[in-house]
Amino acid sequence: MAKSLVIVESPAKAKTILKFLGSGYLVKASMGHVKDLPKRKLGVDVNKSFKATYEVLPGRKKILDELKKAAKKADQVFLAPDPDREGEAICYHLSEELGKVNRNIFRVMFNEITKRAVLAGIQNPQPIDRNRVDAQFARRILDRLMGYKISPLLWDKVKRGLSAGRVQSVALRIICEREKEIQAFVKEEYWTVTANLQGESPPPFSAKLTKSNGKKINLGNQEDTDKVLAGLKTAEYRVARLTAKEKKRNPLPPFITSKLQHDAYGKLGYTVRKTMMIAQRLYEGKDLGDQGTVGLITYMRTDSTRTAPEALNQVREHIETAYGKDYLPQSPNLYKSRKGAQEAHEAIRPTSLEFSIDAVRPYLNRDELNLYQLIWSRFVASQMQPARFETTTVDISAGDYTLRVNGSVQTFPGFLLAYKQEPEGEAEGSEALPPLKKDQLLKLEKLNPKQHFTQPPPRFSEASLVKELEENGIGRPSTYASILSTLQNRDYARKEQNHFLPTELGILVTDLLVENFADLLNVEYTARMEEKLDEIENGKLAWSDALKDFHDKFAKDLKRAEVMMRNVKREEIPTDQICSKCGLKMVKKWGRFGQFLACSGYPDCKNTQEPEGEGDSAKTTIEEVCEKCGMAMAIKRGRFGQFLACSGYPNCRNTKKLKYDKDGKIQQHVDKILDETCPRCKKNLAIKEGRFGEFKACRDYPTCKFIKLKEIGLDCPHKECSSGRVVERRSKRGKIFFGCSEYPKCEFVSWYRPIEKPCPECDRAYLLEKITKRDGTTHFCDNKPCKFKVAVND
């Protein structure tokens, strides 16, 4: 019989920790939160100091009963969820329930899942941090008050199913405001001039025109540029000034969550959600063969750059051995975390440098290895010497004009040997230069005038949006992935070419909220709320006081919005367009699928049509023909938004997904030919467009019917299958399902996405994930004798 019960959040984590603790312990998983605010009612009494009613989650009752049963038999209970606010709240709710059967309950924390860290945590238990619990409760109640009160208002004024969130809505506002900047942007013409020059010895080089009569030059049109070119063609080119100096490029600190998400996106192409899923697996533990299961990285939800002294000693020893003393600073590099960072946590780093890239390579899949290598390299580089460069700036006189060229030569690679870091603010036009000296004459080979136009600010990618949220103090490392997912799931924003584009609905909802809840949608106000949560956690502010300050203002805004907010459902905006059926004027209305035109004679005339004359995205036809029948394609609107359909419907039922370019205009699809070859006919593969979106297939498809299926990053879970990978497939109706890449040799198939989590109740090596609007995310086992099923908090 076990003497001690240890409770963690996930089965994978439980499995790893049990191997460290041995037979004297029983390790079980709570599967995340066990209690939450009720789903069908507010659950917060604003008149009684915001007293909250928490209930056992429906999917956790069976698990909680098992934990109580185990706790009753144990001498002591150790609560070991993740070391953050959410983990502390889980501990508090577990202690509430388990305290009824066992009073010997302790909180243990560890930043990494290694034997040393786990044993140290067990040997040094501590009480539950009530300040941290209060901060989580305050955050949860804030989100509940805003979502529960504003969402029904949007249902009444716009349409059912909409939602508002304290952080989500601010993120959406940032996306919408960037889109408005892009739409309002007026491009301006400008010209640049470079001169190809030759010194006394090679190589030739190029210098850029920068000044005229000692002042910065701006060329706005071709006429001005031609005048300058006339002067430059006859001028004498002479080296006027040389400036040489050494420049250092310092290494970046080890990863925090947002920086890991940013670099994983830029270097590996991983979405924020994918990055966090892979990092979770590396943190919870991987089986390394003879070494057993061990966590490979420290806790991956952190905003601190702090590194433990023992880890610093280990990495310094590694640097000296692997790179030499010249690459090792005299003392460790220390980095300052941003304001409000949780310094109790560490940065994301390998748990031990004994687990080198080559050592773990056989035990990790490709995605895991790529991310682990990124974390490993960044951590090692953070404790190395700066890279050094010899930079030269040369000013060249040409009559009344001055040209400039910058040269740079690396003299010492430093940390760049371990981690390739893109330079920030590198001098423009940096190139290899020949030997030059002051007053040296240069030969003009060619002048290169070039026309440019100013560009609007770019739309946000996942990485740049996370960076924007972090820099403005909005949200926390654990929330970024769910924020981005929610915006897309609610149809407030879509991703086109990996950049966020607000939908018509997203812009409407944002405008309504900004008009009626200016404070709640204010970036600075939201950041201040995050600071207040930090103050609650640090014991500097009572959680009820913070909630009162919020609610006093919120209640007034809500009462006013109930009266003053536009009732979009009932709006009818007159237009000059004439109904093609009865001749009356059309009015613009808002429906289930966005704006549409309806006859003002409704209900006598029920004619409706798409809006016209509001930009390219509103046109009913485009310059693209149906590949099946040759007729023009037209824009139609359905329950999931706009799409392309053949204008020959119903004789031709061809449809396609609507694509947009970087300016938000409709983009016609052209097959992108890839370097990868078709395994059947040896021709190149291509990115093609089908009725359900892009897919990768032979360039001769459908003559050659090879289609490369999308992998989800999981080996086939069937024990009998040794080489298959789980891939996405589509039914004839377009519904996604999952199967083995080795079909028909392996007949594994599922309507639900398999996830790499073993069933805690049977021998299944995987669970299935089901997501519905009503019940949210559920993990369950498809082994018929096993009834395991659990709700998951996103």
Tokens of 86: 């959410």
Q: Find out whether 283 and 300 touch, Cβ atoms under 8 Å.
A: yes
Residue 548 phi/psi, 5-degree rounding, is: -65, -45
Strand order in the sheet with 684-690: 672-677, 684-690, 693-698, 707-708
Could you give the CA distance from residue 182 to residue 178 in angstroms, rounded to a whole number?
Answer: 6
Degrees, nearest 5: CA angle 367-371-375: 165
How far CA 758 is from CA of 12, 15, 364, 436, 739, in Å, comes to 7, 10, 17, 67, 18
Q: Which of 299, 323, 419, 701 is catalytic?
A: 299
Degrees, nearest 5: CA angle 231-232-236: 105
Beta bridge partners of 791: 778
Degrees, nearest 5: CA angle 24-28-31: 165
Greatest pairwise CA separation for the chain in angstroms: 96
Q: Find out whether 726 and 739 touch, Cβ atoms under 8 Å.
A: yes
Could you give the CA distance from residue 690 to residue 687 in angstroms, rounded to a whole number?
Answer: 10
Angle between helix 366-382 and 272-284 (nearest 10): 80
SS (H, E, C) 469-509: HHHCCCCCCCCHHHHHHHHHHCCCEEEECCEEEECHHHHHH
Could you give the CA distance from residue 57 to residue 604 in angstroms, rounded to a whole number?
Answer: 51
Using left for φ > 0, alpha for ψ between -120 and 50, and beta otherwise, residue 187 falls in beta
Q: Find out whether 228 and 211 touch, Cβ atoms under 8 Å.
A: no
Task: Check if 299 is active-site.
Answer: yes
Instruction: Tell me the DSSP string of 499-563.
Output: EEEE-HHHHHHHHHHHHH-TTTT-HHHHHHHHHHHHHHHTTSS-HHHHHHHHHHHHHHHHHHHHH
Residue 331, H or E segment: none
Catalytic residue annotation: 299
